[in-house]
Amino acid sequence: MRAQLGECIAALSDRETEVLALITGDKTDREIARELGIGERTVRAHVSRILLKLGVASRVGAAVAATKVGLAQDVIGRDRHGG
């Protein structure tokens, strides 16, 4: 199952991956939009595509999937080390 999740996450666009990483950080659509310099409607569109691609029903499900494959840890590590 973990390999399937990894494949699903690998199928996300770079922007969708950024949005997913911010979702794992418990950011709201407004906070994500502000951080990425995009509109809230655009964020909602990305979130919808992420949920569809990962086959989950909610942001929480997406965050759990990302955490299972280590996406959240990768992003946290980059933030702490200036990457």
Q: Which two tokens stand for residue 73?
A: 């840890």
What pLDDT score does 10 carry? 84
Compute the CA torsion angle 1, 70, 38, 81 (nearest 10 deg): -170
Assessment of whether the complete model's pTM goes beyond 0.75: yes
- Encode pLDDT of 65-76 as tens digits: 999 888 765 554
What pLDDT score does 41 carry? 98
Q: Residue ranges of the chain with pLDDT lower than 70?
A: 1-3, 72-83
Instruction: Calculate what percentage of the chain has a pLDDT beyond 90.
Output: 66
Topology annotation, domain 2-80: Arc Repressor Mutant, subunit A (1.10.10)
Q: What residue segments make up the domains of the chain, in order of their start?
A: 2-80
What pLDDT score does 6 carry? 72
Is there a contact between 9 and 65 (Cβ–Cβ < 8 Å)? yes
How many angstroms separate the CA atoms of 22 and 78, rounded? 13
Q: Which two tokens stand for residue 67?
A: 């955490």
